[in-house]
Structure 1
Amino acid sequence: MPEHYSTVLADIPFKDRMETYVDLLSKDPEGRLFEALPFGSSSYVGSGEEGFAPAYREEIEIIKSISKSLPEDSCYSYHRKRLDEIVCAKEIEVERERWRSFHESV
C-alpha cells in the first residue's frame, strides 16, 4: 500500500474506516497491513474539561470492534495481539490526556 494512502485514511473519521479495516485485515492473514493502516486520526476534537480523552476512548472501542469482527481463525491471533497493543497504547494516551487536562485546568 503506498505511503500516502495512510495519510489519506487518517483524514477519514476513524468510525467510517471500521468496515474497510475489517475487510482489509481479513484478507491479510500475515498482518502486513498493520504497518500501513493508521489506527488514529490526523486531527482530534477535544474539550477544555477532558481534552482529547473522549476521542481516544472512542477509538479504543472501534479497535475492539475491529478485533471482534475479524474471522475466528487462529491465523488472526497475530492481528488480535497487535490490536490489543494498539488499545493499550491508546489507554495510556487517555491517562496522559486526563492528567494534562486536569493540570491545565488547575
Structure 2
Amino acid sequence: MKESKSKINNFNQCTSNSSPINGVQSTSLLQKIENIGTCLADLEQIDLAGEQQDEIIQERICTIEENNKKIERYRKLAVFQQLEKFSSEKQDAEEDVKMATDDS
C-alpha cells in the first residue's frame, strides 16, 4: 500500500509544472512527458493489482458460499438421521407398551 501511495504521489509530481520528480527538477517538456508516461504505467500496474485482489476476494467469497451450502446440507442430513432414529426408538417403545398391555 505504501508503494501505491508513493507511485500516486510521483504521478502527482509528474503532472505538476514546477515540482521535482523523485527529488530531481525536470528541465525539458520531453522529460516531463516521459516521466508522465512512466507514472501512468505505474498507476496501471496498481490498478491491475487491485483488480487481481478483487478477483481473489470474489473467488474466496464464492468458495465460502459453496462451503456454507454444503454445511447446511450436512446439518439437514444430520437432523433427518436423528428424526429417523427417534422415530425408530418411538416405534420400539410403542411395541414394548403394546406387548406389555397385551400380556396383562
- TM (norm. structure 1) is 0.39
- TM (norm. structure 2) is 0.39
Structure ID, larger Rg: 2
Q: Identify the structure with bigger relative contact order (alpha carbons < 8 Å, sequence gap 6+).
A: 1
Instruction: Please state which structure has a larger fraction of its residues in helix.
Output: 2
